[in-house]
Amino acid sequence: MFKVVSLVSFLFISLSFFAHRGQFASIENVKIIETEENYIYQFQFENIKQTNLSNIAIELVINHHPLQLIEIKEIKSNVQFVAGEFTISKKLMNIENDIVQIEVTKIFGKRNDWGGWDSPNFETKQSNTLASEFFADAPWRMKKLDNNGNERDIPVHFYLHDADKVQIITLQIDYINIKIKNASSASFGPILKYNSISDAAFKSMYSSKSPNDPQLDIQEFKLSSFVASDSYTMDFNEDSDFFGDDFVEADHAYWYFTFNIPASELQGMEDIIDVEVEIGYSNNTISNDFIGLRIFRQNEDLPSMTNWYRGDTHLHSLFTQNSAETGLPIEATIEAGKLIGLNWFTTTDHTSDYDNYGGGNIHTNWAKIQTMVQELNTQNPDFKVVAAQEVSTSNGAGDLVHMLAYPSYKAPFSLQFLGDGDGDLTPTHVFIDDVLNKLTITDGFSYAAHPFATADKLPTIPVGGNVWNFGEATFPANGNNFPKTGGNIICNDVNATSDILSSEPGKLMKDRLVGAQIWNVRNGRETTSGILGELDPWNVRGNDTPFSEFDTTALSHHMKKFRQGQEIVNQANKLGLINKNANSDYKNWKLFISAGADAHGSFNFSNTDDFGSVGVINTNAVGKLTTIAYCPEGMGDNGEGILKALYQGNTSLSDGPIVTIGISSDGNNASNEILMGEDKIVNTLNIEDYYLNIDYVTTAEFGNINYLKLIAGTETGEIERIMPITATSGTNNINLLLTDILDSIFQNSTVPDSNYFYLRAEIQTTKDYTAISSIYGSTYDKYHSFSNPIWITLYDVIPPVPVDPEEPITEFSLSVYPNPFEGNVSLTIKNPTDQPVKINFYNDLGQIVSSLTYPIIGEETIVLPQNILDLAKGVYTVKATVADYEAFETIIKLK
C-alpha cells in the first residue's frame, strides 16, 4: 500500500468483481480511499438498461446495518453512470473484518434487490466463483490400517464444476500430478508415476467416477481419456488440437473422479501425510492450479459404542449449487465418510437451489436425489444416506432462515419437496408454518438449523436473512446479552410471533419441530491468507501463512455459538417442565439438540466465509461435528433407525469423544430401559431397582477427559455437578444407584416429587499439540460430547399382586397396573365363577363414563381399549362385578 503526502491511500481499486447486478442497476468501479480519520467509498451507479429511473435510494450497509443513504430523484435514459461516495469514520468500522455493502435499495420508490456491491468480506458459504473451479479433496483424518492390518489407500477426489460457464474458450485439462511427503518434511518427493505397471492396474486406482448424465449436465469420466506416463501422474489424451497438444475437454456443469493413492506409496512414511496436486491446462490463458492437503492418519477408529452410529445431520452435496456455494458428489462423500469414521449422513441441500440445475424442475431434481440415495444405500450396506432438505423458509417476520427437514422413519422416501426454489438472491415465499404443515401430512419432522446464536444470522443482503425468533418473555429480549455465554441476543423479539413456540393451547413447541441443530461448523482453526490460503491453508507447499488457532472468545467460535443456542434450548425445556407438570396432557414440551458440520463437500478443510479468494478458510469438514444415534436394531436399509433416533431424541452430540446416559429400571446392569429423549415414570416403590448408566469413551486422538458433568433441569433452572471419574481415557461405564445420583446433584435442594425433571451429561477432553503445533496449526484443542436429556418423574406405582397359577381361585379381585398410568394400562381380574365380568368406570362425580364386559374365567389380564386411554387426565373409580361379587380400584390418569 502506497501513501502520498496528503496521507491518502487507495486500498482497493475497481472491485467490481464483487458487484451483483440487478435488472436495472448495479454498483460498479468501487474505490476505497483512506484518510487520517475516514474511509471514503467512491463508486458509480450504473443504469444498466439506460432507461428513465426515478426515486432511487442507495445505502451504505455495515455488518448488515444501514448507516448512510443517498437519494436520487431522477436519472435520464441517456445517462449510464452516476458517481457517488460515502464517507465513514474509522472509529465506526474495522475495514479488515467488517462486512461493507453498497446497495441500491429502491428504484421507482419501491424496495427490492435492485443491485449492489459487496466487500471482499461479504459473508457467503463455500467459495463458488463466477467461472469454473477445480477442487481436489481428501479425508481430513482416517484410520491408517484396515481390519486385516494392511495400510489403507488415500483417496483424493477431483471435482470440476461450472466449466460450462467459461466464456470464449473450452477448458482443456492436460495433466494432473500428485506428490506426497511427511508433514514434518520440508519438500515433496517426486511426482507419482505409474507407467511401469499395467494399464488395468493403473485404471483400478480410480473410483467415484462421474457418469454420463444429460439431465444434470454431468460429463462422463472415461478411463480411456488418460494414460500413465513418465512425466505425469495422469496424462489426458482424449482430445487434441491443430498443434498436436492432447488433453480432455471439459465443458459440462460437472466432471469428477477419485484417485486412490496406493498404500504401496505410503509404506515407511509417518502418520501425517501431505499431498500436493497440480492440475495442468492446455489453455494458454489459464494458469495451473496447485492444491495442498494434509491427512491425519490414526491408529484407532473414531470413538464408538455398540449400537450407536456416528453421522452428520447437516451436509451438502452436488445438489447444492448457487452463485456462492457448491457441494461434492454423494458417492465421493460416502467414500470419504467411511474413511473419516462416519456411519451415515443426511443430504440437506438448499431447497432454494433445486431450480439451478437439471432443467430447473425442482420436483424432478428432488426425485433424482432420492433415487440416487436409494441406489447408493443398496450398494453400501454398511453406510447409510438419508435424503433430507435444508429448507429455505421465511420466519414470522418474513426473514430468511433455514430448517432441516427429515422424512418419517417409517418411510424414508416419503418426504415431499418443501421449498419453492426461491431464495438464492431473494427471500422465499414458504413460511415455517407452511413447511411444518406439510411435514404433518407425511409424518416427517424437523430441526431448526443454526437457529439462535448471534453469529448464526444469515446475510441481510441480498437474501434478507436472520435467525429463528424464540419470542418468549421469560428470557432476556433482543439487545441484551446471553446470561451465561455473553454476546448480543438477536433471537428473542418478545413483541413478535415465536418461530418455535406453538399458538395452540396445550402445546409448547410447534407440531413437527422436534429439535434445534445448535452445533454447526467446527471452526477450530482458520486462515485469511487469500488465494494461496484458499488452495493450501495447511501451507504444505511452504508459500503462505498456514492455519492458526481460532479466537475461542469470538462469538463466531463454534463453542460460543453452541452455548448460546443451548441457553435458548434450556429455556424452552424449562418452559416445557412448567407446563407439563401443571397439565399432564400437555404436548410438544421437549426440544432436542443435534450437531452437523454444514460442510459443502469439504473433506479436508472448508473455505466457508471465503469468496473470490478473499475471506476466511477454516478446518471445518465432513464429520467434524457429529450426532451419535442409538439404533439397537441397526441403521435400517435406508436409515430408518437413524431417523427414529433423531425423531425421538435418542442421540448424543460429539466432535470426537462420546458420552451417553440411560436408566436401568430392573437392577444393576448395563441394559437401559429408559433412553435419552424419553419421558418415563420412575416407580419410587421400587426405587432400589433404578440405576443410572453413564457411558463415555475417548481415544488418544482427542486426549484425556478434563471433566464429566451431570446436569439436572427443573422448573427453576439447571444444577450442574462434576462427577468423579476413575479413568480419563478409553471406554468406561459409571453405574450408580439413581437415588445416590439424585442426592449428589440436588444435595440440599429437594428432589422434585411427582413432577418431571431431566438429566443430561457432557464431557470435555483436551489434546496437547505443543510438540507438533506447526503441523496442527495450534498448541491444543478441546473436544466435547453432549447428551440429550432423559425426562423422569418420581411416582408411587402399585404393581399387581402375583398369584400362584395352580392355586384354585376362590375369591374375586381386581388390580390395575400401572397406577398412575399415562399410556397403556391393564386390569388383572380373578373370577371364581363362569359368568362374564362387567366393568364400570366412574368419574369423580360418580358418573359412569364407560362400561365394558369381559368373559373372564379364572385369572386374566386385559389391556384396556382406546376409549379408556382417551379419557381426560384425572381420578377414576373402576368397579368390577360378577354374580354376587364386586371389587373397586381407584386409578389415576396422568395425561
Helix axes 330-340, 362-379, angle to 10 degrees: 40
The SS3 assignment for 748 reads coil
- Name the helix (H) or strand (E) containing 718: strand 717-722
Locate 885 and state its grid cell. 361379587
Main-chain dihedrals φ then ψ at residue 239, nearest 5 degrees: -120, 165
Lowest mean pLDDT among 433-442, 480-489, 527-536: 527-536
CA-nearest of 489, 450, 754 to 594 is: 450
pLDDT band, very low/low/confident/very high, at 517 (cuts 50, 70, 90) = very high
The Cα-based distances of 763 to 347, 661, 707 in angstroms read 28, 12, 6
Cα(339)–Cα(356) distance, integer angstroms: 31
pLDDT tier, 168 (very low <50, low <70, confident <90, very high otherwise): confident
Q: What pLDDT sits at residue 410?
A: 95
Distance CA 876, CA 841 (A): 7
Q: Which residues neighbour 86 within 8 Å (Cβ) at sequence distance 6 or greater?
A: 40, 41, 60, 68, 70, 102
According to the model, what pLDDT value does residue 513 have?
A: 98
Handedness of CA 598, 604, 609, 610 (dihedral sign): negative
Output 644 or 117, whichever has higher pLDDT.
644
Predicted confidence at residue 873, as pLDDT, reads 81
Q: Which is more confidently placed, 852 or 395? A: 395
Determine the average pLDDT of the residues in 585-612. 85
Does the pLDDT at position 17 exceed 60? no
- Inter-residue contact 809 to 832 (CB < 8 Å): yes
- C-alpha span between 111 and 117 (Å, rounded): 17
Residue 236 in this model has a pLDDT that exceeds 80: yes
Mean pLDDT of 1-26: 48
Q: 83-107 burial, b if ≥16 CB within 10 A, otherwise e?
A: ebebebeeeebeeeeebbbbbbbbb
- Under the banding of pLDDT at 50, 70 and 90, the label for residue 806 is low
What is the per-residue pLDDT for 123?
36
* Percent residues over pLDDT 90 in the chain: 69
Q: Which burial class, exposed, middle or buried, applies to 50 when counting CB atoms under 10 A from its CB (0-12, 13-18, 19+)? A: middle
**Angstrom distances, CA of residue 542 to CA of 136, 185, 291:** 18, 11, 12
| Cα–Cα separations (whole angstroms), residue 637 to 207, 307, 331, 439, 641 | 23, 15, 17, 22, 9
Q: What is the pLDDT of residues 835-851, one digit of tens each?
A: 889 999 888 777 888 88
Predicted local confidence at residue 842, as pLDDT: 85
Q: By C-alpha distance, which of 21, 24, 19, 118 is closest to 64?
A: 118
User: Residues of the chain with pLDDT > 70: what percent?
Assistant: 92
684 touches 716 (CB < 8 A): no
Summarised one tens digit per residue, pLDDT across range 635-670 is 999 999 999 999 999 999 999 999 999 999 999 998
- Write down the pLDDT at residue 844: 74
Amino acid (one-letter) located at 514: V
Q: Which of 333, 712, 513, 480 is nearest to 723 (CA)?
A: 712
pLDDT for residue 874: 81
Q: Average pLDDT, whole number, for the chain? A: 90
Q: Residue with C-alpha cell 376362590?
A: 810
Find the mean pLDDT for residues 264-293: 94
For residue 818, is the peptide bond before it cis, meaning its omega torsion is within 30 degrees of 0? yes
Higher pLDDT, 374 or 869: 374
**From the DSSP assignment, how many helices (H) and strands (E) are in the chain?**
10, 53
CB atoms under 10 Å from CB of 855, counted, come to: 10
When mean pLDDT is compared across 229-238, 691-700, 859-868, the lowest value belongs to 859-868
Comparing 74 with 800, which gets the higher pLDDT?
74
Give which of 252, 257, 251, 248 is closest to 217, Cα–Cα: 252
**How many Å apart are CA 353 and CA 369, to the nearest integer?**
13
- Beta-carbon contacts of 456 under 8 Å, excluding residues fewer than 6 positions away, are 450, 467, 520, 561, 565
What's the rounded Cα separation, in Å, for the pair 108 and 314? 41
State the pLDDT at residue 237: 96
**Lowest-confidence range among 93-97, 278-282, 557-561, 601-605?**
93-97
**The pLDDT of residue 799:** 66
